[in-house]
Amino acid sequence: MNQKIILASGSKQRKLIMDALGIEYVVIPADIDEKAIRDEDLKLRAEKIARGKAEEVSKTNEGIIIAADTFVACNGEVLEKPIDLEEAKEMLKMESNNRIVVYTGFCYIDKLNGINFSTTSISNLDLREIRENEINNFVENNPVLQWSGAFCPLYLYQTTFINHFEGSITSVSGLPTDLLVECFEKSGVEIKGSSL
């Protein structure tokens, strides 16, 4: 019997990744106060938020539940989603010619198969110098308010900001497929892929 697969997130980027895998799923965003979940260890913070989302959705829904949370750290400062375009510009100026660390907490719950897994995927990116006119144009023409640190390499032009990369490109975009695919295999979920 096929289980319902639930993505506990309304993130456009996460949906794009799920669509690319060719998986049938439903979106049920978790209603939790993410800011109430804190930990000085950023790896633990990301994992705790992802787990909080998954567990909240699992209270009222049956099936496989997938949750994630992503934020960026730069110069020791955590950068979440900017509140406005000016803050997005300031974030990109900080990230310019600098190293950013992207933390993506991941949680996968499949009660039927006894899977309850969570962790954090960490990626390091060294960015080139981003000129002020580039920042202004990028912020004005892209949905930067949806992205932690105003950064999402699923948008091809922003990929050109990267000089060096270590980690998972899908994790930086919000959902680590290396971890997700391994969990799907344990649940017996077939990945069909898509032509997107």
Q: Taking the CA atoms of 60, 61, 64 and 65 in sequence, report the sign of the dihedral they define.
A: negative
pLDDT at 33: 63
pLDDT at 35: 66
- Does residue 195 form part of some domain? no
- Does residue 112 form part of some domain? yes
pLDDT at 72: 93
Q: Which of 19, 33, 39, 69 is the catalytic position?
A: 69
- Does residue 156 form part of some domain? yes
SS3 112: helix
Q: Domain residues for 78?
A: 5-187
- Does residue 183 form part of some domain? yes
CATH code for the domain in which residue 177 is found: 3.90.950.10
Helix ranges, 35-162 (H): 42-58, 85-95, 132-141, 156-159
Kindly state the tokens that stand for 12. Answer: 């456009």
CB 7 within 8 A of CB 176: no
- Does residue 111 form part of some domain? yes
Kindly state the tokens that stand for 109. Answer: 């719950």
Q: At 183, which helix (H) or strand (E)?
A: helix 177-187
pLDDT along the chain (196 residues), means of 10: 88 91 94 70 93 94 95 91 95 96 96 96 96 94 91 83 92 93 95 73
Q: What is the DSSP string of 5-35?
A: EEE----HHHHHHHHHHT---EE------GG
Give CA–CA dist 96/100, Å, rounded. Answer: 9
- Does residue 162 form part of some domain? yes
- Does residue 196 form part of some domain? no
69 is catalytic: yes
- Does residue 143 form part of some domain? yes
How many domains are contained in the chain?
1
47: number of Cβ within 10 Å: 23
